[in-house]
Amino acid sequence: MIYPKLAVVGCGLIGSSVIRAARAAGAVRAVAVADASAAHREQIAALGYADLVTADVAEAVRDADLVVFAVPVQAMGPAAAAAAPALKPGATVTDVGSVKVSVAEALRTAIPASIHLVPGHPIAGTEQSGPASGFAELFRGRWVILTPDADETPAYQEAVARLSDFWTALGAQVDVMDAAHHDLVLAVTSHLPHLIAYNIVGTAADMEEVTQAEVMKYSAGGFRDFTRIAASDPTMWRDIFLANKDAVLEILGRFTEDLQALSRAIRWGEGDKLFELFSRTRDIRRGIIIAGQESAEPNFGRDRTAPPPGPAGS
């Protein structure tokens, strides 16, 4: 056991997966959950993976050794402010947000100085959301990035090491990174791809020459993958883009320049440039597989023998 009591504030995909994985690993003894949604609280109680389910954040975090904030990034500050009066001195507070600079500042402003703040981000997820969407294996083999403060005191360093041990027990690999660098990296690897996916699916839906029925009926693998990404929680992603706007706009500017260069290559029939780009990007895909961050199975692991999905409601 690493933490006697775990409190999770916000219990969607990541929050519920943290609980399930911690229970499965024996990393905690007791679990308390705070969630603002009455429907979520009812579902969590029925699933039975928490000892206490409440709408009161302060009630959930009282006496907790580890508090995980798993709410949308724009809600981190208010949630931490609600928790602050009940936080136990010496407890560790972390989060699972995809943005680190603004979230760390919001948490740091809200919580007492006696609390060890170690911001974090598990790079794992699916397009599903809600308390029933989590599963214990979500973090297995995935990276968790911690962005601790520059605090060299033994107590703080021990808190960082303990949180790292917690994530390792859940099956994750842990890395430490500067918060601003994290936000730039994630703008490239996660935020921009989601922005592109939302835009491509929206463009297809808006085309007058192509009906929505045709888009769904004739979707090829690439478009299906974009729709899966674009099905992610809209509240979460709205907040991510607003909270990490500087890094996203920087990467989006670079992407726009590269897209214009690609457009010119297609317009002028520069096949050698296209081939060079496609070869380089294929090598990156192979590197991701070698790094264990994706499956090398044919067709991205889809079951080719499975019948295609029927119409909605079937």
| CATH number of 223's domain | 1.10.3660.10
- Whether residue 311 lies inside any domain: the answer is no
Same domain for 129 and 234 = no
Contact predicate 86/61, CB 8 Å:
yes
Domain-ending residue, one of 177, 200, 235: 177
Contact predicate 60/9, CB 8 Å:
yes
Same domain for 196 and 167 = no
Q: Give the pLDDT confidence score for residue 229 in this predicted structure.
A: 74
CA neighbor of 21 nearest in space, from 3, 37, 42: 3
Burial of residue 188 (CB within 10 Å: 0-12, 13-18, 19+) is: middle
- Whether residue 303 lies inside any domain: the answer is no
Per-residue pLDDT of the chain (314 residues; tens, 9 = 90+): 999 999 999 999 999 999 999 999 999 999 999 999 999 999 999 999 999 999 999 999 999 999 999 999 999 999 999 999 999 999 999 999 999 999 999 999 999 999 999 999 999 877 778 899 999 999 999 999 999 999 989 999 999 999 999 999 999 999 999 999 999 998 988 888 888 888 877 777 777 566 666 666 666 666 767 777 777 778 888 888 898 889 889 989 988 998 898 899 899 998 898 888 888 877 766 766 566 655 555 444 444 444 333 333 32
Contact predicate 96/76, CB 8 Å:
no
CA neighbor of 127 nearest in space, from 75, 68, 74, 193: 193
Same domain for 150 and 229 = no
Q: How far is CA 76 from CA 103, 175, 237, 269, 312, in A?
A: 7, 22, 14, 50, 36
Distance CA 250, CA 219 (A): 31
**Full strand arrangement of the beta sheet holding 143-146:** 120-122, 143-146, 173-176
Same domain for 286 and 152 = no
Tokens at residue 123, please? 């790079």
- Whether residue 313 lies inside any domain: the answer is no
Domain-ending residue, one of 154, 177, 200: 177
Half-sphere exposure of 102 (CA within 13 A, CB side): 19
Same domain for 189 and 162 = no
Distance CA 302, CA 312 (A): 20
**Cβ atoms within 10 Å of 279's Cβ, excluding its own:** 9
Same domain for 207 and 156 = no
Same domain for 190 and 158 = no
- Whether residue 310 lies inside any domain: the answer is no
Same domain for 226 and 101 = no
Which residues neighbour 24 within 8 Å (Cβ) at sequence distance 6 or greater?
Answer: 136
| Predicted structure pTM score | 0.78
Q: Give the pLDDT confidence score for residue 309 in this predicted structure.
A: 36
Q: Give the pLDDT confidence score for residue 208 in this predicted structure.
A: 55
Distance CA 254, CA 249 (A): 9
Range of the domain at 247: 181-293
- Whether residue 312 lies inside any domain: the answer is no
Domains contained in the chain, number = 2
Same domain for 92 and 221 = no
**Cβ atoms within 10 Å of 163's Cβ, excluding its own:** 24
